[in-house]
Amino acid sequence: MQFLNNKWMRAAVPALLIHCSVGTVYCWSTFKQAIAEQIGMSPFAVGWAFSLAIFFLGTSAAFAGRMVEKDIHKSSLISCLCFTAGMVGTGLFIQFTTGVVALIGIFVSYGCIMGIGLGIGYLTPVKTLMLWFSDRKGLATGISIMGFGLAKAIATPVMELIQNSLGISAMFYILGGVYFVLMMLGHFLLKKPDGWVEPQDNSNAVKPLSMFKNKTFVGIWLMFFLNIHCGLALITYEKQILSTAFAGAAFLAAIISIVPSVTAAFNALGRIGYSSISDNMKERNTVYKIIFTSCIAITALALIPFSITNGQNSIVFGIIVIALLLIVNLGYGGGFSTLPALLSERFGMESISSIHGLALTAWAAAGLTGNNMSELILGATGGVYDYILIATLALYVVALIVCIGLVRKKKA
């Protein structure tokens, strides 16, 4: 069927089907509290399931890079089976166990098994997209990774509806089945361009230790890690930061209900926007300079009213905090989507899946550190959000220094 053999049906559509499925990992806050209440454990303890999912995402992507290079259909099938089995397993442990047993089961199902499917699924379509869209690599990866970002906005109301109507376990069962169908459809559609043959010679295979000795790769890894770390430190506390900014305001509930959807849209916009813009730049790394500079500026600006008002409500303060969350989400999404094209620019296309997988270990590390840094700061300061902003501001500055100093364009 010739009408199927084009870049949209063989790359863009299957990538969106896979990424819109696995991207629902970011809906975690929608049901974390319900899981904690159901199994009788604290939200903080349950929250480690999300951290483990992000950790296994990064580590599985790193180890699966070579497999993805050789056989995208094998990797897309493994991703589908692991991701959906992890969702169903999570539902089973919530329904039939409680306490520590349930917690361990959720860690294994949601954190480990689903996390492995998440990492392999995230990585699988990326090289295929860049091969089909060889002249617009940024646009290609932006389309796919935008789907990962949009998954939260699409799935959250559906999850809330099922959860409120049928219960938390039923939500995992139903969505596990739905995502199985979507990911299998993506599995059957995904195909590299005719004529592209992967090199069978393993002599040029990526060696992880050698990559981490490469100054440019280390610089990209560090700035990618810092962008995710700072993003998670702020994004995972959106509701609490907004509550502080609009404390006592009559429209607080409306703000908290609307703003997260808008920030999710900005996250997705950053994924398609920044990566597409990078196609027209002489140097893709300029995107990261823009991201870090804008985040430094808005975080510093937000610190002024935070300190002056001591967290008391003011319209100006609230507007600045909303702007902070929007710009951080914009840069957070853009950092993800621009990464594959930047890596291909620096290291070529031959082993891009393996190199991209190694870079995603930065995501694994940030998944363990980002939101937990905020948790530790709040615990040590008695819930003062100023210090989270100070910490993220300092780290954004470090990221900009790394971006300028280490991630230089290689000389012709």
* Mean predicted confidence (pLDDT) in 114-138: 93
Whether the predicted pLDDT of 296 surpasses 90: yes
Higher pLDDT, 11 or 410: 11
Q: How many Cβ atoms are within 10 Å of 335's Cβ, its own excluded? A: 27
Residues whose CB is less than 8 angstroms from the CB of residue 284 and which lie 6 or more positions away in sequence, other chains included: 138, 278, 338, 341, 342, 345
Q: How many Cβ atoms are within 10 Å of 152's Cβ, its own excluded? A: 24
**pLDDT reported for residue 382:** 87
Higher pLDDT, 312 or 291: 291
Query: And the tokens for 27?
Result: 């809906």
pLDDT band with cut points at 50, 70 and 90 for residue 308: low
**pLDDT reported for residue 412:** 42
Whether the predicted pLDDT of 25 surpasses 70: yes
* Mean predicted confidence (pLDDT) in 284-310: 86
Query: And the tokens for 280?
Result: 């027209």
* Mean predicted confidence (pLDDT) in 104-131: 95
What letter does residue 6 receive in the DSSP assignment? Answer: S
The domains of the chain, with CATH numbers, are 1-189 (1.20.1250.20), 208-412 (1.20.1250.20)
- Please, are residues 116 and 60 in contact by the beta-carbon 8 Å criterion? yes
Q: How many CA atoms lie within 13 A of 177 on its CB side?
A: 5
**pLDDT reported for residue 202:** 62
pLDDT in tens, 216-225: 999 999 999 9
* Mean predicted confidence (pLDDT) in 198-219: 79
Whether the predicted pLDDT of 115 surpasses 80: yes
Provide the terminal-to-terminal Cα distance of the chain, rounded to the nearest Å: 43
- SS3 (DSSP) at 154: helix
Class of residue 10 by CB neighbours under 10 A (exposed 0-12, middle 13-18, buried 19+): buried
pLDDT in tens, 165-176: 999 999 999 999
Q: What is the CA radius of gyration of the chain?
A: 21
- Rounded to whole angstroms, how far apart are CA atoms 265 and 325? 12
What letter does residue 10 receive in the DSSP assignment? Answer: I
- Rounded to whole angstroms, how far apart are CA atoms 36 and 102? 10
Question: Closest Cα partner for 219 from 352, 402, 398, 356?
Answer: 402
Higher pLDDT, 94 or 145: 94
H or E element, residue 330 = helix 315-347
Torsion sign (Cα): 400, 212, 355, 134 = positive
- Please, are residues 406 and 214 in contact by the beta-carbon 8 Å criterion? no
Q: Cite the DSSP H helix spans in 167-251.
A: 168-189, 208-211, 215-235, 238-245
**pLDDT reported for residue 371:** 84
Q: How many Cβ atoms are within 10 Å of 179's Cβ, its own excluded? A: 24
227-259: burial string, b at 16+ Cβ within 10 Å, e else: bbbbbbbbbbbbeebbbbbbeebeebeebeeeb
**pLDDT reported for residue 146:** 87
Question: Closest Cα partner for 230 from 399, 73, 354, 99?
Answer: 399
Mean pLDDT of all residues in the chain? 89
53-84: burial string, b at 16+ Cβ within 10 Å, e else: bbbbbbbbbbbbbebbbeebeebbbbbbbbbb
Class of residue 36 by CB neighbours under 10 A (exposed 0-12, middle 13-18, buried 19+): middle
In the chain, DSSP finds a helix count (H) and a strand count (E) of 18, 0
Cα 122 to Cα 101, 105, 144, 236, 306, distances in angstroms: 29, 24, 9, 21, 37
**pLDDT reported for residue 314:** 65
pLDDT in tens, 383-406: 888 899 999 999 999 999 999 999
pLDDT band with cut points at 50, 70 and 90 for residue 124: very high
pLDDT in tens, 225-254: 999 999 999 988 887 888 777 776 777 777
